Chain A
Amino acid sequence: MSAGKSRTRLWFLWHSWLAMPIWAFLFFICVTGTIAVVSTEITWLVDPSMRASGGGQPLPPGALIAAAEAAAPGGRVESLSWGGSHMAVGAEMALPDGTVTTAWVNPVTGVVQGLSPGTSFRQFIRALHGWLMTFPTGWYLVTALAIPLAGSLVTGLVVYKRFWKSFYQPRIRWKQAPRVLWGDLHRVAGTWSIWFIAVIAVTSLWFLIYIALFHLGIGLGGGKAPVMVARDRIPVSAVRPKIDADAVVAAAMTALPDMRLRYLRLPDTAYDTASVIGSSGQVPLLPDIVRVNPYTAEVIVVEGGLEGASGVELTRTIMRALHTGDFGGLPVKLIWFAFGSLMSLLVFSGMLIWTKRTARATVEAVRGLRTARASSNA
């Protein structure tokens, strides 16, 4: 065997051993992550109260808040989120018993179509995928997969000579034996998802580094002081003044007329601003955040685009957007879902190839060695 060939063989062993011992865990994380990409869409399909027809003049935010609060005694709306014309507006409400619930309000008729108490499927699948429901142990376990993932990508590219041929001459031998078919699928899917695996590996590695630095007490810095309402701008009255949500959103839309409204966060405390979040498409991947004085409906600051955030915050936002595919609406999500499925298939087919070939090859090699030794002993 030539030196080049044995080196390739070594790379190939690395490629096999990086994922094989953890394949089931990796597969689980790939599948849950793929589901997480479209979790909102799945709940939309399952839960009719989240749907809206899309036609008609949308109601102002104040009317949606009033409708939601009328549906739950004592409920206080903390935020509104708009998911597009086909979705009901989600009004997150604080309840007197200390829990939260989401009211799904039809954006046109103002009818509360349903209440979803507690955490949503989106949050659940995220907790399952991201930290196995146990933080921070699970977070470390999951993000550590970034290392074998990146390793599999690199070794795969070394092992698979002329992988670029799969781009213009993808070869899948459907009629051959399953081992051959799985091998072809593994190579073609792998080549086509090079960019996606790289994105997922790098962003996951970032999640690992980020949390590790936090626990090591090494601050990444770059945190900005929160924007608050100046003390002398807070009104003096007997009771809490009512916040005019319509005026708040209108002020934000005046500041950024092209913005697609996605989220209204009412102040968490009396000293907080109201935040209007949307995307105006100024800078890809980055949302626009307009901080508004809730009492006067004056825009305090427009944070958005590149100058809005420091380096670390910017990295966080971009890494998160790239990892989840949540930055360009449904089309991007569907691309992420498709490649997430391909990645799950890669893990699964890799395992099948291993059990069908590599394991047998190893057994045969060991047996060969034994017979050789036995015959030399004789």
Chain B
Amino acid sequence: MRKLWHRGKFHLSALMMLVPLPFLPNYFSPKPIFAPPEIRRDIGAGPFPITLVTYDESPHWAGNGEWMKEYRIHLRPADIDKVRGVFLRVGKPRNLRAAGALGFGNPYEREAEVAVPAEPSGTEELWVTVEDWSGRIHQTSTPLAGFLGGKR
């Protein structure tokens, strides 16, 4: 045993190669395998039914002092070319310029990183602003309580 330790101690750093192993299956799966459960909310903004999806995990720290939470925005496939943009914001936006985080990326599953309060009071509303290609605005809101995820 001692001999083994003497011979092997300097090769122990090879064990670092094991670090990536547990992450490999998840990496190669097209969708996360060990993802936390999802919270889904069906809402409607004007003529557009929308499903908002987020993971049941606490908001993450963005490094700039803000806490962020990621929401995925599912429109009906027939609507994706009618909608110019979907904005999410905690609290009612005062105008379109401050409508909040804009959903981006895959048009079938836009993502938005929303700044959320560090210590929510439980009465906040998540406001959804949809602008269609004709420039019309459709707004709705849903309680943030139960939609923030994580243990709170």
Which A residues are within 8 Å of any B CB, using their own CB? 20-26, 28, 74, 76, 78, 94-100, 117-119, 124, 127-128, 132-134, 138, 141, 214-215, 217, 219, 234-241, 268-272, 351, 354-355
Known: A25-B14, A134-B23. 12 other contacts (CB 8 A): A21-B10, A28-B17, A98-B109, A99-B30, A99-B31, A100-B106, A127-B27, A133-B19, A133-B27, A134-B20, A138-B20, A141-B16
A118 with B19: CB separation less than 8 A? no
B17 with A118: CB separation less than 8 A? no
User: Smallest distance from the beta carbon of A20 to chain B beta carbons, Å?
Assistant: 5
Q: Which of B36-44, B76-84, B118-126, B139-147 contacts A (4 or more CB under 8 A)?
A: B76-84
B105 with A94: CB separation less than 8 A? yes
Query: With contacts A133-B20, A234-B84 known, is A268 near B133, CB below 8 A?
Result: no
A217 with B30: CB separation less than 8 A? no
B82 with A239: CB separation less than 8 A? yes
Give Cα distance in the complex from A26 to B133, angstroms: 54
Give Cα distance in the complex from A32 to B27, angstroms: 17
Closest chain A residue to B109 by CB distance?
A98
A28 with B30: CB separation less than 8 A? no
Which B residues are within 8 Å of any A CB, using their own CB? 10-14, 16-17, 19-20, 23-24, 27-28, 30-31, 63-65, 72, 77, 81-82, 84-85, 102-109, 133-135
The 5 A-B residue pairs with the shortest CB-CB distance in the complex, in nearest-first order: A24-B14, A94-B106, A133-B23, A98-B109, A25-B13
Contact partners of A239 in chain B: CB under 8 A:
81-82, 133
Contact partners of A117 in chain B: CB under 8 A:
30
Give Cα distance in the complex from A21 to B64, angstroms: 37
Give Cα distance in the complex from A122 to B23, angstroms: 17
B103 with A74: CB separation less than 8 A? no
A96 with B77: CB separation less than 8 A? yes
What are 12 A-B residue pairs whose CB atoms fall within 8 Å in the complex?
A: A28-B17, A94-B108, A99-B30, A118-B28, A128-B20, A217-B63, A219-B63, A234-B84, A236-B134, A269-B85, A269-B102, A271-B85
A238 with B13: CB separation less than 8 A? no
A236 with B14: CB separation less than 8 A? no
User: Smallest distance from the beta carbon of B152 to chain A beta carbons, Å?
Assistant: 22
Contact partners of A134 in chain B: CB under 8 A:
19-20, 23
Give Cα distance in the complex from A94 to B24, angstroms: 23
Contact partners of A238 in chain B: CB under 8 A:
82, 133-134
B20 with A95: CB separation less than 8 A? no
Interface centre among B19, B81, B135, by most chain A C-beta atoms within 10 angstroms, is B19
B105 with A268: CB separation less than 8 A? yes
Contact partners of B72 in chain A: CB under 8 A:
98
Contact partners of B23 in chain A: CB under 8 A:
132-134
Closest chain B residue to A228 by CB distance?
B102
Contact partners of A25 in chain B: CB under 8 A:
13-14, 16-17
Give Cα distance in the complex from A25 to B102, angstroms: 42
User: Smallest distance from the beta carbon of A149 to chain B beta carbons, Å?
Assistant: 14
A215 with B63: CB separation less than 8 A? yes
User: Smallest distance from the beta carbon of A135 to chain B beta carbons, Å?
Assistant: 10
User: Smallest distance from the beta carbon of A247 to chain B beta carbons, Å?
Assistant: 20
User: Smallest distance from the beta carbon of B42 to chain A beta carbons, Å?
Assistant: 17
B133 with A236: CB separation less than 8 A? yes
Contact partners of B81 in chain A: CB under 8 A:
239-240
Query: With contacts A236-B134, A271-B85 known, is A132 near B16, CB below 8 A?
Result: yes
User: Smallest distance from the beta carbon of A16 to chain B beta carbons, Å?
Assistant: 10
Contact partners of A133 in chain B: CB under 8 A:
19-20, 23-24, 27
A351 with B19: CB separation less than 8 A? no
